[in-house]
Amino acid sequence: MKLRLHSNSLRLRLSQSEVAELGESGMVEENLRFAPGQALRYSVECSEVTEPRTTFEENFIRVKLPRTEVKQWIETDQTGIEATQGPLRVTVEKDFKCLHRDSPEDSDSFPNPMT
């Protein structure tokens, strides 16, 4: 899962296997280790919420999405789910292959619809 932070926006891009895992288990989680005992954890979760919710507590960014929206996103060609929560804009997207170069990082990415 790729995490991008810019100003007041948070973008998470999920590979094909991560989208499948989200559909099967209801959650995908990663962490970024800075040093022993220091990490930033982040997750995307299916939840009983009625609208997307994002929390940040104890170095853990948790994005909770309504189950019905996740199901539709997974089963269709819908690119992403977007939400605004106060000053924060959150986007959860399918990760598409890069158009400009081949990368081993793209091996599990979705085919780019622009090709």
Beta strands in 1-115 (DSSP E): 2-6, 9-14, 27-35, 38-47, 53-57, 60-66, 80-85, 88-94
pLDDT tens readout for residues 16-43: 999 999 999 999 999 999 999 999 999 9
Q: Tell me if 55 is assigned to some domain.
A: yes
Q: Tell me if 80 is assigned to some domain.
A: yes
Q: Tell me if 30 is assigned to some domain.
A: yes
CA distance 79 to 66: 16
Task: Give the chain's domain count.
Answer: 1
CA distance 92 to 28: 12
CA distance 21 to 29: 10
pLDDT tens readout for residues 51-110: 999 999 999 999 999 999 999 999 999 999 999 999 999 999 998 656 565 666 666 665
**pLDDT value of position 97:** 57
CA distance 24 to 34: 30
CA distance 10 to 65: 14
Q: Tell me if 26 is assigned to some domain.
A: yes
Write out the residue range of the structural domain in which residue 67 sits.
Answer: 2-94
CATH of the domain at 81: 3.30.1360
pLDDT grade for 113, boundaries at 50, 70 and 90: low
Q: Tell me if 103 is assigned to some domain.
A: no
CA distance 60 to 39: 9
pTM of the model: 0.84
Interacting residues of 24 by C-beta distance below 8 A, sequence separation 6+ = none
Q: Tell me if 102 is assigned to some domain.
A: no
